[in-house]
């Protein structure tokens, strides 16, 4: 005769499993919340935080004995139209490595980009449904501490980093600042949901971030913040029209990216280039011209996923005019749409647009409060992607993924408050 909850000597009983799961959930949340501070200390570390948080969340699910139901739910989620579009893009990225001339470089970029995305997917099914309200307070403190750390470092000429022998280039704070930019929409949404004083705290946080952004060297963050501010009223009062305009803007950006270099070179006067010298506008136009020329030499398939750092050494580079080849050695075109074209060709561009359109379709059908914040996040991310960093950099994918998780938490809490 057996007794309920009997345990084998040395094994964990139900109560111990519950305590273990509780500890793992708490650790997963704390690791996730610590990302902003971690990015200031190590400016590429956000993938480590999101992957570790996802691993702890999976361990918590395993401790609860719910791995099989989670796998079934994941399979169901992957059958949605948006997930199918993402999987098609994933497949094309993987297939394109086959014709990359530098497969090791491509494989490294593939892992760097897709691992944080996989971790974000896991967290969307696990931690996003368990994150307690109080974690937003901790996230606020992490956000403020990260901002203050950046301001102090820049004000002291990175004296602390120099003293302990760390890299002391001021531009390394651009990535942490952009990570904070992605967290602004969910945090502001959280404060505005907290009652009459919420707007006051949200404004305070926004002012701290604005000071941090202006003190940093990230012109992309300044541009992103401005566009977020401009887009929120439109997103609130006309969400579907704003989504339609966003879809048109993405279509134009993706469509003209192979010729964006000559277009911007013609449209931007020398006086504007002088004003934007700190943002290296001339260099960006030269980059776009060079990578656009490479696209036009292999428009359908591209050079293979992640090959941009070695683009100058590829066979197609020899077909680019000699005076433009030097810019192909920069590493990437500082334009995600153009990088997709240059590495994945027209097929990759169409698949990427399909994902964007499906995202906007879902955002247009969200409740107004969540939909407008989601559009604010898209508005902040788009200019950074089009003028800033490499498309496949893991820290950027992880930072975007983290912001989406926080939006899912807000949507869940709002839904629960109505029950």
56-70, 162-176, 299-313, 340-354: segment of lowest average pLDDT:
162-176
* pLDDT at residue 281 tops 80: no
Higher-confidence position of 392 and 274: 392
Higher-confidence position of 270 and 203: 203
The mean per-residue pLDDT over the stretch 256-282 comes to 78
- CA gap 318, 305 in Å, rounded: 19
What is the pLDDT, as a whole number, of residue 418? 67
What is the pLDDT, as a whole number, of residue 419? 47
- CA gap 370, 411 in Å, rounded: 7
Range 108-117 burial, b when 16+ CB lie within 10 A, else e: ebbebbbbbb
Radius of gyration for the alpha carbons in the chain, expressed in angstroms and rounded: 23
- CA gap 378, 228 in Å, rounded: 8
* pLDDT at residue 5 tops 50: no
* pLDDT at residue 3 tops 60: no
The mean per-residue pLDDT over the stretch 311-333 comes to 90
Render pLDDT for 51-90 as a digit per residue (tens, 0 to 9): 999 999 999 999 999 999 999 999 999 999 999 999 999 9
- CA gap 348, 342 in Å, rounded: 9
The mean per-residue pLDDT over the stretch 299-325 comes to 93
pLDDT tier, 127 (very low <50, low <70, confident <90, very high otherwise) = very high
Q: Are 383 and 220 in contact (CB under 8 A)?
A: yes
CB-based burial label for 52 (10 Å; 0-12, 13-18, 19+): middle
Q: How many other C-beta atoms can be found within 10 angstroms of the C-beta atom of residue 2? A: 5
For the four alpha carbons of 134, 137, 139 and 142, in that order, the dihedral sign comes to negative
The mean per-residue pLDDT over the stretch 339-352 comes to 97
The mean per-residue pLDDT over the stretch 28-48 comes to 96
* pLDDT at residue 402 tops 50: yes
- CA gap 52, 33 in Å, rounded: 12
What's this model's pTM, rounded to 2 decimal places?
0.92
Q: Are 24 and 59 in contact (CB under 8 A)?
A: yes
CB-based burial label for 169 (10 Å; 0-12, 13-18, 19+): exposed
Render pLDDT for 160-216 as a digit per residue (tens, 0 to 9): 888 887 777 788 899 999 999 999 999 999 998 887 788 888 899 999 999 999 999
Q: Tell me how far the alpha carbon of residue 237 is from its chain's centroid.
A: 26
What is the pLDDT, as a whole number, of residue 266? 79
The torsion angles phi and psi of 378, rounded to 5 degrees, stand at -60, -40
Q: In the predicted model, what is the mean pLDDT of the chain?
A: 91
Domain locations along the chain: 15-414
What is the pLDDT, as a whole number, of residue 13? 62
């Amino acid at each position: 005769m057996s007794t309920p909850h009997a345990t084998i000597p040395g094994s964990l009983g139900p109560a111990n499993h519950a305590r273990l799961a509780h500890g793992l959930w708490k650790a997963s949340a704390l690791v996730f919340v610590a990302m902003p501070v971690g990015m200031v200390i190590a400016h590429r570390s956000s993938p480590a935080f999101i992957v570790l948080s996802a691993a702890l969340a999976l361990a918590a699910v395993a401790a609860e004995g719910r791995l099989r139901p989670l796998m079934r739910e994941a399979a169901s989620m992957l059958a949605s139209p948006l997930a199918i579009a993402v999987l098609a893009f994933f497949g094309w990225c993987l297939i394109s490595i086959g014709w990359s001339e530098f497969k090791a470089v491509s494989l490294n970029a593939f892992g760097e980009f897709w691992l944080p995305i996989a971790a974000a997917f896991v967290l969307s099914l696990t931690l996003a449904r368990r994150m307690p309200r109080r974690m937003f307070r901790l996230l606020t403190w992490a956000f403020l501490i990260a901002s203050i750390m950046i301001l102090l470092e820049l004000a002291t000429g990175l004296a602390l980093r120099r003293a302990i022998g760390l890299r002391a280039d001021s531009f390394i704070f651009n990535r942490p600042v952009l990570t904070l930019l992605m967290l602004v929409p969910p945090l502001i949404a959280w404060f505005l949901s907290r009652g009459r004083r919420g707007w006051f705290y949200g404004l305070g946080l926004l002012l701290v971030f604005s000071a941090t952004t202006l003190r940093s060297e990230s012109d992309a963050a300044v541009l992103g913040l401005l566009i977020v501010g401009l887009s929120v009223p439109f997103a609130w009062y006309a969400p579907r029209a704003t989504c339609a305009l966003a879809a048109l803007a993405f279509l134009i950006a993706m469509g003209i990216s192979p010729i964006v270099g000559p277009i911007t070179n013609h449209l931007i006067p020398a006086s504007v280039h002088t004003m934007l010298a700190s943002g290296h506008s001339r260099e960006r136009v030269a980059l776009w011209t060079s990578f656009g020329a490479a696209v036009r030499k292999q428009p359908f398939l591209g050079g293979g996923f992640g090959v941009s750092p070695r683009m100058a050494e590829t066979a197609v580079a020899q077909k680019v005019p000699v005076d433009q080849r030097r810019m192909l050695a920069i590493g990437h075109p500082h334009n995600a749409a153009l990088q997709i074209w240059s590495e994945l060709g027209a097929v990759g561009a169409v698949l990427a647009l399909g994902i964007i359109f499906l995202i906007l379709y879902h955002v247009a059908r969200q409740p107004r409060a969540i939909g407008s914040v989601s559009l604010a996040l898209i508005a902040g991310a788009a200019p950074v992607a089009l003028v800033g960093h490499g498309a496949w950099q893991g820290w950027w994918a992880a930072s975007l993924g983290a912001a989406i998780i926080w939006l899912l938490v807000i949507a869940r809490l709002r839904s629960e408050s109505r029950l």
